[in-house]
Amino acid sequence: MSQPVMVALAALLVGLVKGGLGPAPGALLVPLLSTTMPVTDAVGVTLPMLMVGDWFALPVYWRKWDGQALRLMLPAAVIGVGMGVALLTTLPDDALRHVLGAFTLIVALYKLGSDTLQSLTYRPRAWHGWLAGWGSGFGSALANAGAPPVTAYLLLRGTAPTAFIATTVAFFLVVNLLKLPIFIVTDVLDGSTLARTLWALPLIPLGVWLGKELVQRINQRKFEWLMLILLFWIGSSLLVG
């Protein structure tokens, strides 16, 4: 598919995630875009989309988040973002594609095993929050694939559904705001990259509406399996291609 089609599809996927279809569609963003552009450009293109999606979701979940979890995760996320950007801006594109493929497969494997996390006996430790924050900051900066560490940590904590969503929204809003000036300074996000994104931003609210409609109409389990198949396929293609 052409680059404009992929950008439009990415905007719709952001809306689907914010509309309630879960994080799996979001993990497809950079891998799909990287089929038509360098990985660095794909990461830069998706950041404005994700930030628009964050602002759509924030008012709905304002102050419903787990403050303790955020206080543990966010300081370490700053370090993770710095390390992720360092790799993103120094590795050649071929190496980045392999890393992106590995991250995509990790997301798929996490999703495959996430149902068991809630049944585990868990004793919370502060360093678990630090590790989750660092891992999500690193994955978000390197490939916009930071969801698994944070979501696994919150599942293990037994976070209630509303607080779970609110905490992830608040966490990634802050992480994305941290990434913005760094991406601009390092030219991951520049004027030409932004121009390739702006026209597609109105598709995000359409995706949010579509996501809300699909949640009520589709079989969630079948949809998750479809996302898993796509994640394994794209991740494997990037890793060995």
DSSP result, 191-202: HHHHHHHHTTTT
Give per-residue pLDDT as tens, 144-198: 777 778 887 887 777 787 787 788 888 988 999 999 999 899 888 888 878 878 8
Q: What is the pLDDT of residue 233?
A: 74
Model pTM above 0.85: no
Q: What is the pLDDT of residue 25?
A: 66
SS3 per residue for 52-119: HHHHHHHHHHCCCCCHHHHHHHHHHHHHHHHHHHHHHCCCCHHHHHHHHHHHHHHHHHHHHHHHHHHH
Amino acid at 123: R
Q: How confident is the model at residue 24 (pLDDT cuts 50, 70, 90)?
A: low
Q: Angle at the Cα of 184 (from 180 to 187), degrees rounded to 5? A: 135
Range of the domain at 195: 3-240
Rounded Cα distance, 139 and 144, in Å: 6
- pLDDT the model gives residue 118: 53
Indicate the range of 125-129, 191-195, 224-228 predicted with least confidence: 224-228
**How far, in Å, CA of 2 to CA of 197, rounded?**
14
Q: Residue 94 is encoded by which pair of tokens? A: 């071929």
Instruction: Judge contact between 25 and 229, C-beta under 8 A.
Output: no
- Residue 43 CA to residue 183 CA, distance in Å, equals 9
- Which of 13-27, 110-124, 141-155, 183-197 has the largest mean confidence? 183-197
User: What whole-number distance in Å separates Cα of residue 237 and Cα of residue 149?
Assistant: 23
Check whether 23 has a pLDDT greater than 70.
Answer: no
What per-residue confidence (pLDDT) applies to 179?
Answer: 92
Q: Specify whether the CB–CB gap between 231 and 105 falls below 8 A.
A: yes
Predicted confidence band of residue 117 (pLDDT cuts 50, 70, 90): low
Query: Which has more confidence, 239 or 134?
Result: 134
Under DSSP, the state recorded for 17 is I
Are 234 and 28 in contact by the 8 Å Cβ rule? The answer is yes
Task: Give the chain's domain count.
Answer: 1
What is the rounded (10 degree) CA torsion for 151, 162, 27, 43?
-100
Lowest-confidence pick of 2-6, 111-115, 189-193: 111-115
Dist CA 141 CA 6 (whole Å): 21
